[in-house]
Amino acid sequence: MSELHTDTTDTTTGTAGTAGTGGTGAPGRAAIEAELVEAVAATQGSPLLRRIGPFMPIALLLIWEVSGRVGLLDERFFPVPTSIVGTFLEMLTSGDLFDDASITLTRIAIGFTMGAVPGVLLGLLLGSVRPLRQLLEPVFSSLLPIPKIAIFPLLLLIFGLGETSKYLIVAIGVFFYLFFNTLTGVMQTPPLYNDVAVANGASPLQRRLTVSLPHALPSIFTGTKLAAGGAFVIIAAAEFVGSQSGLGYLIWSAWSTFAVSKMYVGIVTISVLGYVVTLLIGLLERKLVPWVKY
């Protein structure tokens, strides 16, 4: 009886100790929750810095303005922001800026569509069919490092100075972004997903559309954002030498006439338009890919 009492006491004491100090008791849960709160706070950074962050561009513009006014910056090369804003309003009122911006956006939209559709389709196909991927991926990988704008003179020789050459140079640049991002997304699809689809009688086409494509969507949208930024770079460079209109031509003509404020207007307009397009793509991504944490 004495031994039985001792064993029972030890067991009870051990259980109580576990409840009091092991991760399942109230003190243990409180410690874990405190650690989680600290970890989340560490990832979010300083609240003060988050409040200051949005005002940093304004602060930089003020520093630029003051530096120009007191002579620290040469206004021939760095006109003060108020001067650039004045030029912007003049160009906006005359309609010149709107015309050039709309021409550039139209070229990007058409070229983007021409490059994105085959890029996604080929990426989906090669990511799903291994023999085809082994055959063709080295070809695309060897073409990827070529600067896309380096192909533009060849396109001008073949298609002339018309719009076709500009559409194609944008399409070529966009294609590689979408192709490789789609290919990567499809190849990262867990085999178990396809096995379940096969077990439920899905055809190869159904597996591509219901398994591979949804799994690749986050990667596709990443490629879309990169392609949008790349498209602005490519079309601006193409408009430097192969156009008489567009924001690239605006920047180039302003440089050739030393109209520096007008040149800055063109640069800032491209930056703002690129940011807005990327923002819209991000909003669409949140609608179509709600399972991804942002």
Please indicate, yes or no, whether residues 124 and 234 belong to a single structural domain of this protein. Answer: yes
DSSP single-letter state for residue 149: G
Among the candidates 35, 54, 78, a domain finishes at: 78
Do 56 and 164 lie in one domain? The reply is no
Q: Are residues 156 and 265 in the same domain?
A: yes
Cα gap 246→104, rounded to integer Å:
5
Q: Is residue 221 part of a domain?
A: yes
For residue 241, being part of any structural domain is answered with yes
Q: How many domains does the chain have?
A: 2
Mean pLDDT of 259-282: 93
Question: Which CATH number goes with the domain that contains 240?
Answer: 1.10.3720.10
Is residue 168 a part of any domain in this protein? yes
In a domain, 293, yes or no: no
Average pLDDT over residues 35-53: 64
**Sign of the C-alpha dihedral, residues 10, 15, 18, 21?**
negative
Residues 54 and 117 in one domain: no
SS3 label, residue 182: helix
The closest of 208, 228, 237, 216 to 113, measured between CA atoms, is 228
| Higher-pLDDT residue of 78, 10 | 78
Pair 159, 250 in one domain: yes
pLDDT value at position 165?
94
φ and ψ at 57, to 5 degrees? -60, -40
pLDDT in tens, 210-265: 888 888 899 999 999 999 999 999 999 999 987 889 999 999 999 988 889 999 99
Regarding whether 94 and 126 lie in a shared domain, the answer is: yes
Stated as kind and residue range, the H or E segment containing 61 is helix 56-69
- pLDDT above 90 for 277: yes
Q: Which of 241, 258, 262 is nearest to 250 (CA)?
A: 262
| Co-location of 68 and 209 in the same domain | no
Q: Are 28 and 22 in contact (CB under 8 A)?
A: yes
Residues 71 and 134 in one domain: no
Instruction: Using CA atoms of 254, 260, 265, 270 in order, give the dihedral in degrees to the nearest 10.
Output: 70
- Asked if residue 254 lies in contact with residue 205, where contact means CB atoms within 8 angstroms, the answer is no
pLDDT of residue 193: 81
Query: In this structure, are 49 and 147 located in the same domain?
Result: no
Domain termination site, one of 78, 101, 136 = 78
Domain that holds residue 65: 44-78
Average pLDDT across the chain, whole number: 84
pLDDT over 90 at 51, yes or no = no
Nearest-angstrom CA–CA distance, 23 and 29:
6
Q: What pLDDT is stored for residue 4 in this prediction? A: 44
**DSSP string for 202-268:** --HHHHIIIIIHHHHHHHHHHHHHHHHHHHHHHHHHHHHHH-SSSHHHHHHHHHHTT-HHHHHHHHH
pTM attached to this predicted model: 0.76
As a three-state string, the secondary structure of 68-105 is: HHCCCCCCCCCCCHHHHHHHHHHHHHHCHHHHHHHHHH
Which pLDDT belongs to residue 44?
Answer: 56
Q: 69 with 91, same domain?
A: no
Q: Is the pLDDT of residue 196 over 90?
A: no
Is residue 61 one of the residues assigned to a domain?
yes
On whether the CB atoms of residues 235 and 246 are closer than 8 A, the answer is yes
Whether residues 58 and 158 fall in one domain: no
Domain assignment present for residue 136? The answer is yes
As a whole number of angstroms, the distance between CA 292 and CA 96 comes to 42
More confident residue, 5 or 218: 218
Both 232 and 111 in one domain: the answer is yes
DSSP secondary structure code for residue 188 in this structure: T
**Domain presence at residue 96:** yes
Tell me which of 27, 59, 78 is where a domain ends: 78
pLDDT digits (tens, 9 = 90+) for 123-181: 999 988 889 999 998 999 999 999 989 999 999 999 988 899 999 999 999 999 999 99
Residue 22 belongs to some domain of the structure: no
What's residue 103's pLDDT? 96
